Amino acid sequence: MRSIHRLFAGVLACALTVQLLHAEGLPELGDVASNELSLATERKIGQQIMDEIRWREPSYLDDPDVENYLNQLGERLVAMSDDPGMGFQFFAINDLSINAFAMPGGFIGVHVGLLLAVQTESELAGVLAHEVSHVTQRHIARQIFQSKKLSMASMVAMGLSLLAARSSPQGAMAAISTTQAGAIAAQLAYSRDFEREADRLGFDILRRAGYDVRGMSGFFARLQQSTRQYENNATAYLRTHPLSGERMSDMQNREQPVAYRQVADSQDFQLVRARVRALQGRPSDAVREFETFLRDRKYSSEAGTRYGLAVAFARNRDWAAAEQELAAVRRLKVSSAMVDRQLAEIKTGRGEKEAGLTLYREAMVRYPRNLAVLYGYGNTLIGDRQFAAALKFADDQLQIYPLDVHFYKFRADSYAGLGRRSQHHLALAELTALKGQTAGAIEQLQLAQQAGDANFYEMSMIDGRLREMKKRQIEEMKERRN
């Protein structure tokens, strides 16, 4: 599994890029090197790869708590970058190898292994600030166009075979020989100039955002020294971001004039690390692992460890034990949306739906923009068959997050529960279109037309959307043919 993801992390991003570039109707391969990639095109490519990962890649970690944390940390860094308005998205990959990767257009993937391997939040911030800089400097696009070691054609072939076998990633990887994989991986290493630039700009971001500037070099040094300890887990990142002695001394020279100051880790950093660990393996094993940590006092944060145990208990559906641990976390004066949301989920799990909904409502007042809390509330309303309330909630949230698939899902489920068939299919059509599946959206719109319960106004809206989607489909087919 690990080798798949290590390859996936770097290769899929670039291989697909070339394939999709071709699909965009850009010039033939021979001319590509001389062409600049527009930012809008880069963004479109990145979005398509992101859709592949989010909706079809099994190792994508679909956990709103973790994603929310990464985006909060990421936004704080991006705000201090040279291009704060670029619009980044951070997400987690459930893979224990140590890696982080940037895709075209500002999509940044973080392996769970990296979250577990860093010792401070500043180290994590250092790695992410470096990746953010690769994006703002548009290194990925430039790297692809400058590549000479590997022919464009073989990267396209690679991308195609990955695409063809995306439903079974293991099969796809088995089809690719290790020599090819090695060649591609070597190809994907950023050039020395790009690394130097990302180091320099990443350092500036880290300093301006108020993190410990020694985070980056400290993490790299440890990574390099302990490659044996981590076995192959450390090589993925080092392979794509080669660490030379020169880079290391550049980093240290930059840090020298900055006075040392202790930067405390955030509570959520401790909680997220415990959470991703508690999500690994079998629930009963996770429970045992965290119980051992607590018994032996083997932890840097008691609150984080107790929260991790609560998550493991909740996975094991041991609601009473989970609630008890969360109460202990709260006694340690921890206030976090993650703790509140977990408690609401546990109450709901125990069958105390009203108590759960009340906790969600209180959390929404305290953390109004926390998507994990919002999704949890919507799911609980649907689970409790409160369809009218769920529909109102979904519509309100869609005013704020018009492109969020989850809220369309709540709308679709609410309409299904209310017996409104055409509106149910219309919501499913919007959801499917947002996932980048135009044909599926057309199918849903046709079902909405045929449902027979739409009024005149709703019908003309469905007809209008259907015309738009068919037009989009024709455009996409044209792009693919070119």
What is the rounded CA–CA span in Å between residue 337 and residue 329? Answer: 13
Site string for Zn ion, 131-170 (x = CB under 5 A): ----------------------------------------
Angle at 236 between CA 235 and CA 239, to 5 degrees: 75
Task: Quote the crossing angle between the two packed helices 192-208 and 121-136, to the nearest 10°.
Answer: 120
Residue number, 129 or 343, with CB nearest to Zn ion? 129
Q: Nearest approach, Cβ of 155 to Zn ion (angstroms)?
A: 20
Residue number, 240 or 336, with CB nearest to Zn ion? 240
Largest Cα–Cα separation, the chain: 72
Q: Nearest approach, Cβ of 74 to Zn ion (angstroms)?
A: 16
Distances from the Cα of 322 to the Cα of 286, 311, 338, 355, 369, angstroms: 13, 7, 14, 16, 26
The residue whose Cβ lies closest to Zn ion is 241
Q: Nearest approach, Cβ of 195 to Zn ion (angstroms)?
A: 5
Residue number, 185 or 390, with CB nearest to Zn ion? 185
Taking CB under 5 A as the rule, does residue 337 contact Zn ion?
A: no
For 232, which DSSP code?
A: G
Q: Nearest approach, Cβ of 102 to Zn ion (angstroms)?
A: 8
Gyration radius of the chain over CA positions: 24
Say how many Å lie between the first and final Cα of the chain, rounded: 36
Residue number, 18 or 140, with CB nearest to Zn ion? 140
Q: Which stretch binds Zn ion (CB under 5 A): 189-197, 231-239, 359-367, 415-423?
A: 189-197
Q: Nearest approach, Cβ of 94 to Zn ion (angstroms)?
A: 22
Residue number, 107 or 190, with CB nearest to Zn ion? 190
For 200, which DSSP code?
A: H
Residue number, 74 or 356, with CB nearest to Zn ion? 74
Q: Are 366 and 337 in contact (CB under 8 A)?
A: yes
Angle at 311 between CA 310 and CA 312, to 5 degrees: 90
What is the rounded CA–CA span in Å between residue 330 and residue 42? Answer: 45
Q: Which stretch binds Zn ion (CB under 5 A): 38-46, 140-148, 214-222, 234-242?
A: 234-242
Residue number, 241 or 275, with CB nearest to Zn ion? 241
Residue number, 102 or 454, with CB nearest to Zn ion? 102
Please tell me the count of residues contacting Zn ion according to CB under 5 A. Answer: 4
Q: Nearest approach, Cβ of 216 to Zn ion (angstroms)?
A: 11
Q: Which stretch binds Zn ion (CB under 5 A): 47-55, 99-107, 237-245, 324-332?
A: 237-245
Alpha helices in 189-266 (DSSP H): 192-208, 215-225, 235-240, 245-255
Residue of 4, 1, 15, 202 whose CA lies nearest to 103 = 15
Residue number, 201 or 371, with CB nearest to Zn ion? 201
Site string for Zn ion, 429-468 (x = CB under 5 A): ----------------------------------------
Distances from the Cα of 70 to the Cα of 66, 111, 125, 144, 278, angstroms: 6, 11, 10, 27, 17
Residue number, 134 or 277, with CB nearest to Zn ion? 134
For 190, which DSSP code?
A: P
Q: Are 4 and 185 in contact (CB under 8 A)?
A: no
Interface pick for Zn ion out of 108, 198, 441, 466 (rule CB under 5 A): 198
Residue of 182, 198, 204 whose CA lies nearest to 143 = 198
Encoded tokens for 243: 């660490």
Q: Which stretch binds Zn ion (CB under 5 A): 85-93, 115-123, 157-165, 197-205?
A: 197-205
Residue number, 255 or 404, with CB nearest to Zn ion? 255
Contact positions with Zn ion (CB under 5 A) in 372-401: none
What is the rounded CA–CA span in Å between residue 399 and residue 403? Answer: 10
Q: Nearest approach, Cβ of 290 to Zn ion (angstroms)?
A: 34
Residue number, 241 or 411, with CB nearest to Zn ion? 241
Q: Nearest approach, Cβ of 467 to Zn ion (angstroms)?
A: 45
What amino acid occupies position 388? A
Task: Quote the crossing angle between the two packed helices 405-418 and 371-383, to the nearest 10°.
Answer: 10
Q: Nearest approach, Cβ of 120 to Zn ion (angstroms)?
A: 20
Interface pick for Zn ion out of 111, 241, 273, 420 (rule CB under 5 A): 241
DSSP assignment of 327-339: HHHHHTT---HHH
What is the rounded CA–CA span in Å between residue 233 and residue 98? Answer: 5
Contact residues toward Zn ion (CB under 5 A) are 190, 195, 198, 241
